[in-house]
Structure 1
Amino acid sequence: MSAIKQLNGIQYLRGLAASLVVAEHANLGIGLPKYFGRQPVPFEFYGGPAGVDLFFVVSGFIIAYITLEPSSLNPRGGIGDFLWRRLARIVPFLWLCVATYAALRFVGRHGSFEWDPYLRALTLFPIGPVNPSQAWTLRHELLFYLVFATAFWRSGPGLLLVGAWMLSPILFFSVLGPAQPTTGYELLGFVFNRLNLLFGFGFLTSLAYLRRPDWFVETLPNGMAILTGLCGLYLVLFMLISYTHLDTADVLLAGVGASLVLCVALRVRAELRPGLIDRAGLALGDASYAIYLTHGAIISAVLGVWSRLAPNTNALVVLLVCIAASLGAGLLIHRSIERPMVRWLQDVGFWRHFRATPSLLRDPTGKRN
């Protein structure tokens, strides 16, 4: 019986994307006056935007890969099944995190704080600030799911409809120009956001992978090390162009770069006995969603205690500990809470009726399972 391994490159990218976000948020948090007042890295290194863009491109890839038949590009199951799988994967754990954040803030501020951002996060309402702030990306994820489902579970040119939505930001911002301080413009700016382009890059990569798997023969060893180096170069790109999500050219360039990294990830070989670095990468990839949603609270807790007990500690040491604590706590929360929750949800509702789909699994020979 051959050992079954995950499509490792995708998992590595997930873990690396989460780590980039954690690193920047920890760096910014340490520099706040209420904590240490000095940043370990005294400049903007764009770990947050780079990690988020990688997440979006990977998400665009995964949704098409697990949903569409390679031969016909038709969906494998019903729309209800698809939406149940997606919502069950992200929403219950999001609710738990939002409720925990709100409870901690309520206690910490003796009941004096605004409820609106938490309610927006719970509902993924498309307009206005959310708390925890990381939930803003999930609003775009949910929009992508709805557009994808609407396009592919109806008669007609699904690929063209999804493609039109993904390219819509180029036309929208060319015609209407910079953002206006109106609710209507804000809602349109959400639906036709430049981030749609990032989902598009991942989506196109997935179509190529489904139709031409011979382009992605898994021959690269030491995948985690290779992808870590590539993500470092990707980060340099963001610093060189002073990246912003508000510039279409920047987003297009980021999408091209992320797609190239993704193509390399798809060629990573699944080892029968992965080394320590690769095992760590797989673990971080599995826990990336939990890390992403919980790291803000972990960093705040570490900094709150440490800045009072040892305010003169070297800021770089604090940064490394914050990153390690965030990743470690995220792994623990994933294994003890998130993963059991998702597994339980897999046994209810529409999920059991969804036809077999390819998971992110491969055997060592590269054959599909």
Structure 2
Amino acid sequence: MGRYLPQIDGLRAVAVSAVLIDHCFGPQILVGGHIGVDIFFVISGFLITGLLVEEIDRNGRASLRDFYTRRFLRIVPALLAVSLFVVAALLAGSLVARRLDLWGELRNVLYALASVMNWARAAGWTGGGFLGHAWSLSVEEQFYLIWPLLLNATAGRLDHRRYAMVLIGVMLALAAWRGFLAWNGAGAERLYNGTDTRADGLLLGAALALSGVRRLPAILLKAWPVPVLVLTAVAVSTPWSAPFLGYGGFTLVALSAAWLVALAVDDRAPFVAWLKSPVALWVGKRSYSLYLWHYPILMIFSFAGVRSRLTDVLTVVASLVAAHLSYGLVEQPFLRLKGRVLQFWGGRARGERGISNSAP
């Protein structure tokens, strides 16, 4: 069976907590909670690539049918549940508030479900509304659509470590492209939301999986405070729209996040014990639902004009409750269904080998 790494769920808890604190409590506590998204991106690239490469090495190619079935049943049910909640809230709100742009918000729901929210925001078609945070899911889903095709097409042409170096080269090229866009006046929304400008973490996670490294060199292990301090510094000082991010900041954050994931996988870093704690694991397992639910709940308070420190705390509490219910009533049943569907088709349920943590 697959090797479950509890510390990966612990890292998810860190990532979603950064996002939650930023969105709910803002500049008074944290302005750069976007680092949590970069951690999520590295984790997703790492897990997905590891599973695909293991299957390719075993069978010569990955089953695209099985892969897309797994991704659909992992991502869509919870996203659809949140989307239905948002639609219901919008319809109720439109009855009492004429200033609500109902059709614009419903269009945002479609952007989220169609996995193009990031480009809709990058192009200035929308600010995202109640599902604006779905931009990161769109980036991941676009990666999931393309990456298995590329891996199958290039299987056997490069050994894994050379492939990892190619991905790092692509990441650096995209960093240069992002700098070029920033230099030529691209706005913060374009730089922050574009798939081409935010692929650093996904590519580094994929490179980490392809490298096969499970024990870091001693110098990188002993220097574990470096990525922690870099990410903390960005989290407390750098909002998502800061020009610094376009000129290398995103690359620095992604490299630090990848280093952090590598330390967690190595299992020798001092903070790994905390990542395996019951609280971290509880939050980490529910991180996907927590990420999905917190923002619409926050937006309801904002739109009602009753944002306060009390409602921010209530948002966190309500989000934890909603995430727990979503995890038990939506995520888990569909994860069990995933195994039955793949067995019916003669495919393989995820996690037979490799690392069994689900992504995102």
Alignment TM class, shorter chain as reference: 0.7 to 0.9
CA separation of 1:298 and 1:283: change in aligned 2, threshold 3 A: same
CA separation of 1:170 and 1:132: change in aligned 2, threshold 3 A: same
Instruction: Write the distance in 2 (CA, Å) between the matches of 1:81 and 1:259.
Output: 27
What is the match of residue 34 of structure 1? none
Contact 1:68 1:75 in 2 (8 A): no
Structure 1 gaps of 5+ residues are 29-40, 221-225, 362-369
Instruction: Write the distance in 2 (CA, Å) between the matches of 1:233 and 1:327.
Output: 28
CA separation of 1:320 and 1:107: change in aligned 2, threshold 3 A: closer
- The structure with the largest helix share of the pair is 2
CA separation of 1:191 and 1:333: change in aligned 2, threshold 3 A: closer
What is the match of residue 344 of structure 1? 337
What is the match of residue 80 of structure 1? 65
Instruction: Write the distance in 1 (CA, Å) between the matches of 2:207 and 2:154.
Output: 21
What is the match of residue 213 of structure 2? 212
Instruction: Write the distance in 1 (CA, Å) between the matches of 2:60 and 2:166.
Output: 15
Provide, for residues 165-198 of structure 1, a one-character-per-residue CA deviation record: whole Å limited to 9, x for no partner: 54442353456653669xxxx79x83522x1111
What is the match of residue 42 of structure 1? 28
Provide the TM-score with structure 1 as the length reference.
Answer: 0.72
CA separation of 1:235 and 1:323: change in aligned 2, threshold 3 A: farther
Instruction: Write the distance in 2 (CA, Å) between the matches of 1:90 and 1:71.
Output: 23
Alignment of 1:192-271 (within 5 A): 192-193=196-197, 195-208=198-211, 211-215=212-216, 234-240=231-237, 244=242, 247-268=246-267
Contact 2:11 2:284 in 1 (8 A): yes
Contact 2:18 2:36 in 1 (8 A): yes
SS of the aligned residue for 1:6 comes to coil
SS of the aligned residue for 1:358 comes to coil
Provide, for residues 68-89 of structure 1, a one-character-per-residue CA deviation record: whole Å limited to 9, x for no partner: 1299598763122212212221
**C-alpha root-mean-square deviation of aligned residues, in Å?**
4.1
Alignment of 1:315-334 (within 5 A): 315=309, 319-334=312-327
Instruction: Write the distance in 2 (CA, Å) between the matches of 1:61 and 1:10.
Output: 10
CA drift at 1:112? 5.8
Letter in 2 for 1:138: L
- Residue 93 (str. 1) matches residue 90 (str. 2): no
CA separation of 1:140 and 1:120: change in aligned 2, threshold 3 A: same
What is the match of residue 347 of structure 2? 353
Contact 1:62 1:206 in 2 (8 A): yes
CA separation of 1:258 and 1:43: change in aligned 2, threshold 3 A: same
What is the match of residue 46 of structure 2? 61
Aligned residues: 321
CA separation of 1:174 and 1:258: change in aligned 2, threshold 3 A: closer
CA separation of 1:283 and 1:323: change in aligned 2, threshold 3 A: same
Structure 2 gaps of 5+ residues are none
CA drift at 1:268? 3.2
CA separation of 1:331 and 1:192: change in aligned 2, threshold 3 A: same
Instruction: Write the distance in 2 (CA, Å) between the matches of 1:202 and 1:57.
Output: 4
CA drift at 1:237? 3.0
